[in-house]
Structure 1
Amino acid sequence: MSQTLVRPRPQADAAPQPGIRQSKPVQPKSRWLVLGVMGLAAVYFLLPVWWLIVSATKTNSDLVSTNGFWFGDFALADNLRQLFEREGGIFPQWLLNTAVYAVGGAAVSTLVSSLAGYALAKYAFWGREFSFNVVLAAVLVPQPLLAIPLYLMFSQVHLVNTYWAVLLPSMVSPFGVYLARIYAAASVPDEVIEAGRMDGAGELRIFFTISMRVMAPALVTIFLFQFVSIWTNYLLPVLMLADDKLQPVTVGIVSWQSQQGLGTAAPYNIIITAALVSVIPLVVLFLTLQRYWRSGLNAGSIK
C-alpha cells in the first residue's frame, strides 16, 4: 500500500491568553533615544580622559599653541623622564606612599568591614540593631568634618606627620560595614553555617573558609571603594603630613600646581603627566578586579 505523505498545516499564531501581560517590542525611536543619551554620557566622561592623555604627550609650549584635543610633538618619554627625575625623584616616593596608604588601608578596612558586617547579619546579640543604626549614621557623616578632630586627637598622641596619621583613619569604613552586612544577610545561608558547626568547625574557620568566599563580590567592592577613596584623598594627608617624603601623590601634585609663578615651579606638562601616571593604577585595578563582579552577578542570577 502506498503511504500518503501528509504535510502539517502551519498553525496560526496563538491567541494571547487572558491574564498574561504581553511584552511590547522596543520602538526604533526609543532605541535611538537611549543610544543617543548613552553616547552623550560616554563623551561627557571620556572627553576629559582623552584631553589628559593628549596633553601628557605635549611639550610645555605645545600646551598653549596647539589644539587641546589633538596631538602635537610627541614628548611623552621626555615628560616621564623629567617627572621621575624632578627634585631628586620625589614623585616615585609619592607614588610609593600612596600605594602604602591605599593598599594597607583598603585591605585592613575590607577585613574589618567584612567581620563587622557578618557579625551584624548572622549573630543575634543585645544591641545589634542599635549598632547597625550607629553605622548608618556614620555613613551620613561627611568625611571632611572628621579631619580636624582627628588632627587634634592624633596630635595628643604624637602621631601627626607619621604614616599612621593617614593609615589609621583609612582602616575604618562605615559604608563597608553596611555593604558587608547587607550582602552577608542575603548571600550566606544559615544552613551552611549550621552545617559547619555540626562538622566541628569554629566560627572563625566558618567565616574565612565558607562565608568569605561567598561574600567575595562584596569584599572586592568594599576594597575598590576604599582604595579609590584613599588614593584620591587630599584633605586628611595635607593636614596630617608636613614632610614632603611622607605625602601622597595628590598632595604632591597640588603643591607643584600651587608653585606656579615661581622660578622653580614645575612646568604644566610635567604636572599633567604626573596626573596621568597617578590615574593608571586605578584603571589597572578596576580592569583586574572586574571579573569578581561578573562572577557575583552570575551567581546571583542562578540563585
Structure 2
Amino acid sequence: MTVLTGLVLLYALVPLAWLVINASKTQKDLFSSFGLWFAGDFALWDNITTTLTYQDGIFARWFFNTLLYVVVGAGGATFLALLGGYGLAKFNFPGKRAVFAIVIGAVAVPGTALAVPTFLMFSKMGLTDTPWAVIIPSLIAPFGLYLMWTFAAEAVPGELIEAAQIDGAGPFRTFFKVAIPLLGPGIVTVLLFTMVATWNNYFLPLIMLRDPDWYPLTLGLNAWNSQSSTAGGEAIFNLVITGSLLTILPLVIAFLFLQRYWQSGLAAGSVKE
C-alpha cells in the first residue's frame, strides 16, 4: 500500500512540478532544456509580468470573469443545494421518492450531454454570449444536492428541530439558526465540488461565448495556445504555462485551507446508527 500510495503521489505531483519548473523558462528554453529541470535563465517573474500585461492585461479580465462565475454560479449552486437538501431530508411530502429518483438520474447525466440543448434554449432566449449563459447552468448541481441531502439527514437531529419549533421558531429561523451551523462541513464540501467544476468549466463557455472579454481562464488560455497554429499568430507557450500555473493556485489554496471540512463532509452519512 505504501508503494501504491507513492506511485499515486508521483502521478499527482509530477505534472505540478513540470508546470512550476517550465513556468520559470523562456520561450526558447522550453524546447532546448530538460522538461523536469530548470534552465539557465530563471524567468518566472518576467513570465508572470508578461502574462498579466499581454494583450492589454486581458488575463486579469479572464481571471475576474472566472471569479464572477465561481462566486455567483458555484455560490448559488451551493445555496440551492443547501436549501433543497435540507428540505428533502427533513420534510415529508407527496412525490419525495420521485424527486429522489430524478436527482439520482441527474447525477448520472454528464454535463456535456446537456450542453447543446442548453445552448439551443439559451439561444432562443437571447442569452448566449453573456455571463448568464455560464452562470445559470452552473446553479444546478445534482451531486451537490444529493450530497447535502444525505448529510442533512444525519447531521441535523429531528429532535433538535422539534425543540426549536416548541420554542416558537419558524421554519426559516430554524433553518438559519439551528440547521446551518450543523451543516458547515457539508456546505464546504459542496462548495469545493461546485467551485472546482465551475473554475475548470471549458465546454459550456466554449459553445456559449464568442466575445473574448467574457472568456473564463480555461477558454482564454486555450485561445492563447491556439495562436501558434493560426496564420501570423505568435507562439506564447511560456505565457500559456505561466497562466496555467496562476490559474490553479486559487484552487490549491482553497483545498489547503478547507481540506479538514472537506474530509469530514465526505465521511458524513456513510455510517448509520
Largest Rg, 1 or 2: 1
Matched, 1:37 2:7: no
Unaligned runs of 5+ in 2: none
Q: Calculate the TM-score normalised by the size of structure 1.
A: 0.85
Find the aligned partners of 1:115 and 1:198 in 2 and give their Cα distance.
Answer: 22
SS in structure 2 at match of 1:124? coil
**Matching residue within 267, 272, 276 for 2:241:** 272
- The answer for the alignment partner of 2:254 in structure 1 is 285
Percent identity between the two aligned chains: 45
Distance 1:234 1:299 in 2: 31
**Is contact 2:189-2:261 (8 Å) kept?**
no
Question: Match of 1:139, as an amino acid?
Answer: V
User: Which residue does the alignment assign to 2:83?
Assistant: 115
Match of 1:206 among 174, 177, 184: 174
Q: 1:267: Cα distance to partner?
A: 1.4
Task: Report the AA paired with residue 258 of structure 2.
Answer: L
- Residue 129 of structure 2: aligned partner: 161
1:146 is matched with which residue? Answer: 114
Match of 1:62 in 2: 29
Alignment partner of 1:242 out of 206, 210, 213 = 210
Give the counterpart letter for 1:263 in structure 2: G
Out of 194, 208, 232, the residue aligned to residue 263 of structure 1 is 232
Superposition deviation, residue 187 in structure 1: 1.5
What is the aligned counterpart of 2:200 among 221, 226, 232? 232
Answering whether residue 75 of structure 2 is matched by residue 104 of structure 1, we say: no
How far residue 291 of structure 1 moved from its aligned partner, in angstroms, is 3.4
Task: Tell me the amino acid that sits aligned with residue 162 of structure 2.
Answer: E
Give the Cα separation in 2 of the matches to 1:230 and 1:293.
17
Q: Structure 1: which amino acid aligns with 2:199?
A: W
Q: How far did residue 71 of structure 1 move?
A: 0.8
Within 1, Cα distance between the matches of 2:139 and 2:169? 29
Contact 2:227 2:234 in 1 (8 A): yes
Shift of 1:266: 4.1
Of residues 25, 38, 41 in structure 2, which corresponds to 1:71? Answer: 38
Q: If each structure's helix is expressed as a fraction of its own residues, which one has the higher value?
A: 2
Q: Distance in 1 between matches of 2:69 and 2:257?
A: 20
Contact 2:189–2:266, Cα closer than 8 Å, also in 1 = no
Deviation at 1:283, TM superposition (A): 0.5
What residue ranges of structure 1 are gaps of 5+ in the alignment? 1-33
Instruction: Show structure 1 runs of 4+ deviating over 6 A.
Output: 297-301
Alignment of 1:18-37 (within 5 A): 34-37=1-4
Q: 1:265 offset after TM fit, Å?
A: 2.2
| Number of aligned positions between the proteins | 269
TM-score (normalised: structure 2): 0.94
Amino acid at match of 1:202: G
Q: Counterparts of 1:156 and 1:276 in 2: how far apart (Å)?
A: 37
